[in-house]
A and B are shown apart, each in its own frame.
Chain A
Amino acid sequence: MLPRITAWWTILRISLQERLVYRGDFALGTLMRFLPIVTQIFLWFAIFANLGTGARITNYTYEELVVYLLLTMVARAFSSMPGLASTIARQIRTGDIKKYLTQPVDLLGFMFLSRMAHKLAYYIVAIGPFALVFFLCRGYFIHLPDAPQAAAFAASLILSFLLGFYLEACIGMVGFWFLEVTSLLFVYMLFSFFLSGHMFPLDMLPQPFGTIVQFTPLQYLAFFPAQVFLGKVQGWDLAMGLLIELEWVVLFMLLSRVLFLRGLKRYSGYGG
Chain B
Amino acid sequence: MRKSQIRNPKHRTENCPLSPRLNYFRIFLTFARNSIVRDMTFRANFLIDCLSTITWSLMDLGFYIFVVFRQTSQIGRDTGWGEWEFYTFLATTKLINGLVQAFFMPNCEEVSELVRSGNFDFALLKPIDTQFLVSLRKIDWPALSHIGVGGILLSISLWHITQREIDPAQLTLLTGVAYIFYILCGVAILYSLMISLAATSIWLGRNESLYDFWFYITNFSRYPMEIYSGDVGTPLRWICTFIIPVLIVVNVPARILAQPLAAETPEARFLLFFTPAAAVACLAISRWVFYRALRSYRSASS
Contact = CB atoms under 8 A, between A and B. Distances in A.
A touches B (Cβ under 8 A): yes
A183 B53 CA distance: 11
B52 A36 contact: no
Interface string B59-91: 100110011101111111101000000000000
Contact of A46 (B48, B49, B52, B76): B76
A101 interface: no
A46 B226 contact: yes
A50 B75 contact: yes
A50 B75 CA distance: 7
Given A51-B71, A183-B48, A183-B49, A43 B63 contact: no
Given A29-B212, A187-B52, A43 B75 contact: yes
B55 interface: yes
B233 interface: yes
Contacts of B228: 42
Interface string B126-141: 0000000000000000
A32 B213 contact: yes
Interface string A32-62: 1101101100110111011100000100000
Contacts of A106: none
B88 to A, nearest CB: 17
Q: Select the residue from A38, A39, A46, A47 with max chain B CB neighbours within 10 A.
A: A46
A43 B223 contact: yes
A194 interface: yes
A209 interface: yes
B227 interface: yes
A51 B209 contact: no
A35 B73 contact: no
Q: Select the residue from A33, A42, A205 with max chain B CB neighbours within 10 A.
A: A42
Contact of B67 (A33, A46, A204): A204
Interface in A149-203: 180, 183, 186-187, 190, 194, 199-200
A269 interface: no
B71 A180 contact: no
- Give the bracket for the number of chain A residues in contact with chain B: 20 to 34
Contacts of B212: 29, 32-33
A50 B72 contact: yes
Nearest to A190: B56
Interface in B140-189: none
A25 B201 CA distance: 12
B219 interface: yes
Nearest to B224: A46
Interface in A44-101: 45-47, 49-51, 57
Contact of B75 (A29, A35, A47, A200): A47
Interface residues of B, number: 37
B45 A50 contact: no
A204 B65 CA distance: 12
Given A47-B75, A50-B77, A190 B223 contact: no
Contacts of A35: 216-217, 219-220
Given A36-B219, A49-B77, A194 B68 contact: no
Interface string A9-43: 00000000000000001000100110110110011
A109 interface: no
Contact of B59 (A29, A45, A47, A190): A190
A85 to B, nearest CB: 16
Contacts of A57: 71
B223 A39 contact: yes
A180 B223 CA distance: 35
Nearest to A204: B67
B287 interface: no
A206 interface: yes
B5 to A, nearest CB: 46
A66 to B, nearest CB: 12
B216 A32 contact: yes
B227 A45 contact: yes
Interface string B221-264: 01100111010010010000000000000000000000000000
Nearest to A42: B227
B52 A186 contact: yes
Nearest to B208: A25
A194 B52 CA distance: 14
B76 A50 contact: yes
B190 to A, nearest CB: 16
A36 B213 CA distance: 11
Contacts of B220: 35, 39
Given A32-B216, A183-B52, A206 B66 contact: yes
Given A32-B213, A45-B230, 12 more contacts: A36-B215, A38-B236, A42-B223, A42-B233, A43-B223, A46-B76, A183-B49, A190-B55, A190-B59, A194-B63, A205-B67, A206-B66
Interface of B: 45, 48-49, 52, 55-56, 59, 62-63, 66-68, 70-77, 79, 209, 212-213, 215-217, 219-220, 222-223, 226-228, 230, 233, 236
Interface of A: 25, 29, 32-33, 35-36, 38-39, 42-43, 45-47, 49-51, 57, 180, 183, 186-187, 190, 194, 199-200, 204-206, 209
Return the 7 tightest CB-CB contacts between A and B, nearest first: A46-B76, A46-B227, A35-B216, A183-B48, A49-B77, A42-B227, A32-B216
